[in-house]
Structure 1
Amino acid sequence: MSDLSAFPITKKWPAKNPDIIQLYSLPTPNGVKVSIALEELGLPYEAHRIEFGPDGVKSPEFISLNPNGRIPAIIDPNGPDGKPIGLFESGAILVYLAEKTGKLLPADAAGRYETLCWVMFQMAGVGPMLGQFGHFFKYAADKVANNAYPMERYRDESKRLISVLEARLKDRQWIMGDEYTIADITTFPWVRGADIFYGGSEALDYAGFPSVRAWIERCVARPASAKGLEIPASA
């Protein structure tokens, strides 16, 4: 049996089976990336629901695994050289899982690097911009009621990024063509989430992006997505 005692987070959220991947997350656009990937890859894992706030992501135990205090994070008891490894940042975790299994990332070097470009496009652009749009559009609307600039700035940049996806997905099934990859997994929860969590589809003119809408439907229809989108479940 694996010994995860070196990870303080396991004291607060004990592993029932320390021999499998431990996932610390919430079903947010960032969090479900990893649960969807784990489901796609068929890797056994144990999900721990980490709430926002001082007793969750800001707790010393969680900070010990992710100093940035954000979900998701994982511990893989069977990491490089057979040793346990703790990882944070959703994009890094997806690359790790893909390379660990040899799946969801093209085997050829050119395809691999092109996929990573689209992963970084999401991490640096789609996620941050849609997140800021949602904040000002829904959660802080009252605070900017007399100043439309913040919402409009992030709305317009979000629409520009979605238009980039629209151009990429025209006549393509997936971001990389015929192959479903971590580029799709890292991106679709955010584009979907802008509507599901923020009610922003009309403001972002989703009707004007038919290729993106069809792609989201294909992504969500995958059995691994249907399951992963609900993990970790509510207590």
Structure 2
Amino acid sequence: MSKNILITGCSSGLGLALTNLYLQKGFKVYGISRTKPEIQNDNFIYKEFDLANIEQIKPSLQEFIQNIHDIETVYLNAGMLGEIKASIDLEVPQLKEVYELNVYANKELLDIFSTINVNNIIAISSGASVNGSKGWASYSLSKAGVNMLINLYAKELLNTKLLAVAPGVIETPMTDYIRFDINDEEFPSAKRLKESHIQKPEEAAQRLHDLVINIDKFTSGDFIDVRNI
């Protein structure tokens, strides 16, 4: 019997790369995203849903997830960057929009996962969760929240290994926005990102898979930056 993988945000970027990687390895992949990727594979089971609809997550996804029964690894990948903007110029509703999707949506999903057997949960975090840089308030606050969310749930989901993982810089529309549309002089972090190693999504997906293979080396609830291992 093939093992089950669940991936949120499976339609593009890292999520799509993870989906293709596990399908190639013969896993059964359950995907959740706003739009369906162009994948023709009997082992791909898809649920269209916008995780920004926080109040509808449990009513809409609980049955879909619970019917899986046993999941080898969950990748909580769906999320958003928000606008790169000085903190003083950000309004609370802008912060709230990013925080709700990046943190509260994952909290609702974790509650559902607590009702079935899940071996591993990998929440996609970021180096921005621990490094404060001008312009990154929405994203940094939310990813710091992801780290603590995973730390807290690790104390409760004792039969599941949970990690918050920063996968490094990946070539996606999000990083393209930072590299090509953001003023280097006003936001120095954009220049640092441009000068760093930019991974293809497939490279990042493989590194995450390798991390999961060696997951016993890590303590449940930890924040891991793949660039430091």
TM range (shorter): 0.3 to 0.5
TM-score (norm 1): 0.35
Q: Which has the higher helix share?
A: 1
Query: What's the TM-score, normalizing by structure 2?
Result: 0.36
Q: Decide which structure has the larger Cα Rg and report it.
A: 1
Higher relative contact order (CA 8 A, sep 6+): 1
